[in-house]
């Protein structure tokens, strides 16, 4: 039954096998055994996958409903908040997730959200992570589902006190005269079209560089999504019109939907609900499309 449900949802024996952690042959064999037991053909075997027959379509609907009912009954029996672990970078946690925790808890009162802030890549199974937000790019492994949160448009920002008396926007030459703050993935040279290493304080976390900028210590080149709240509140100002759009973008990633009955409690179901709520919150007001975003550098 598990093999049929997964194959019916994915319409591919190989994809179903990856989800269930078994071989493709095992899934095909179990589906064939079910068809023999029922005396009905549930799938049409095509050259590039599967198609449900009329019997298969109706049966999949009922089987899925039955498994969902079992999951809901189990959840009510346990009657305790489900913990969902989200792995994010420290900057995403500080600038986007933490300011929106109240809204998330109000929308998901039955879920305890556990935040794991790290720059390291997460292993969903080893680290027991349900959702991850990372700077990455397609293509993604077949067992992962990714949703674009926002594109990485870099803008140069500083404290209003640092540029007091200067006329904004600054030219590239004027910008070079200010103290520049650097992070590990430094894009200043690309923005300013400089072959030489540019001087300035360096930080291993963007959050530290942003704190330094807020303290009036220099100009930082940061993703617009991370500084929008500070720009709107007047704590930071954009000092130049020049921007840079980096190819890698921020995606919300999770394992492809597993039926809730495949895991203890209702973890898969809670993770799905949580990701559907987290995505719009983190991407709120920050989504940038390639069509509407241009990259401007100094010549």
**Structural domains of the chain, with CATH:** 2-78 (1.10.10.10), 82-149+252-282 (3.40.190.10), 153-245 (3.40.190.10)
Written as six digits, the tokens of 216 are 């009036």
pLDDT at 170 (0 to 100): 96
pLDDT top residue among 154 and 81: 154
On the question of pLDDT at 262 being above 50, the answer is no
Find out whether the peptide bond into 169 is cis, omega within 30 degrees of 0: yes
| pLDDT tops 80 at residue 274 | no
**With pLDDT > 90 as the criterion, what percentage of the chain qualifies?**
55
Asked if residue 270 has pLDDT above 70, the reply is no
pLDDT at 163 over 50: yes
Using one digit for the tens of pLDDT, what is the confidence trace for 115-157?
A: 999 988 888 888 888 899 999 998 888 888 888 998 889 999 9
**And the tokens for 23?**
């071989």
Q: Which residues, at least 6 apart from 12, have a Cβ–Cβ distance to it below 8 Å?
A: 49, 50
Outline where DSSP puts E strands in the chain.
43-46, 49-52, 82-88, 111-117, 131-136, 144-150, 153-158, 180-183, 202-203, 219-223, 237-245, 249-255
Which has more confidence, 282 or 96?
96
pLDDT at position 271: 62
How far is the C-alpha of 92 from the C-alpha of 214, rounded, in Å?
Answer: 17
Q: Give the mean pLDDT of 185-189.
A: 88
* Higher-pLDDT residue of 294, 208: 208
Over residues 189-207, the mean pLDDT reads 90
Report, as an integer, the average pLDDT of 58-86: 84
Tell me the pLDDT tens digit for each residue of 29-46: 999 999 999 999 999 999
Question: Taking 60 as the threshold, does the pLDDT of residue 61 lie above it?
Answer: yes
pTM of the model: 0.65
pLDDT band at 91 (very low <50, low <70, confident <90, very high): very high
* Chain mean pLDDT for the chain: 86
Give the confidence band of 272 by pLDDT, cuts at 50, 70, 90: low
Calculate mean pLDDT across residues 64-74.
Answer: 88
Phi-psi label, residue 182: left if phi above 0, alpha if psi -120 to 50, beta otherwise: beta
| Residues sharing a CB contact under 8 Å with residue 105, sequence separation 6 or more, in sequence order | 113
pLDDT at site 284: 65
């Amino acid at each position: 039954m598990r093999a049929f449900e997964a194959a019916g949802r994915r319409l591919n024996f190989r994809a179903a096998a990856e989800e269930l952690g078994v071989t493709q042959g095992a899934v095909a064999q179990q589906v064939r055994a079910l068809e023999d037991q029922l005396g009905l053909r549930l799938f049409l075997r095509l050259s590039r996958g599967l198609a449900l027959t009329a019997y298969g379509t109706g049966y999949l609907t009922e089987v899925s409903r039955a498994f969902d009912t079992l999951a809901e009954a189990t959840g009510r029996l346990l009657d305790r908040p489900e913990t969902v672990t989200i792995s994010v970078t420290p900057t995403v946690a500080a600038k986007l997730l933490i300011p929106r925790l109240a809204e998330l808890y109000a929308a998901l009162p039955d879920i305890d959200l556990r935040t794991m802030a790290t720059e390291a890549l997460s292993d969903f199974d080893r680290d027991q992570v349900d959702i991850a937000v990372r700077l990455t790019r397609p293509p993604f492994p077949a067992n992962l589902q990714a949703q674009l949160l926002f594109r990485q448009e870099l803008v140069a920002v500083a404290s209003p006190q640092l540029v007091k008396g200067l006329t904004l926007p600054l030219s590239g030459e004027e910008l070079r005269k200010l103290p520049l703050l650097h992070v590990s993935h430094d894009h200043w040279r690309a923005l300013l079209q400089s072959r030489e290493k540019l001087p300035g304080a360096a930080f291993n976390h963007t959050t530290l560089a942003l704190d330094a900028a807020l303290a009036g210590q220099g100009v930082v080149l940061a993703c617009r999504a991370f500084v929008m709240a500070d720009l709107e509140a007047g704590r930071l100002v954009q000092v130049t019109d020049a921007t840079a759009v980096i190819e890698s973008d921020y995606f919300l990633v999770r394992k492809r939907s597993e039926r809730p009955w495949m895991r203890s409690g209702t973890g898969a179901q809670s993770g799905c609900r949580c990701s559907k709520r987290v995505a719009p919150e983190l991407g709120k007001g920050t989504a940038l499309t390639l069509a509407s975003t241009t990259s401007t550098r100094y010549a």
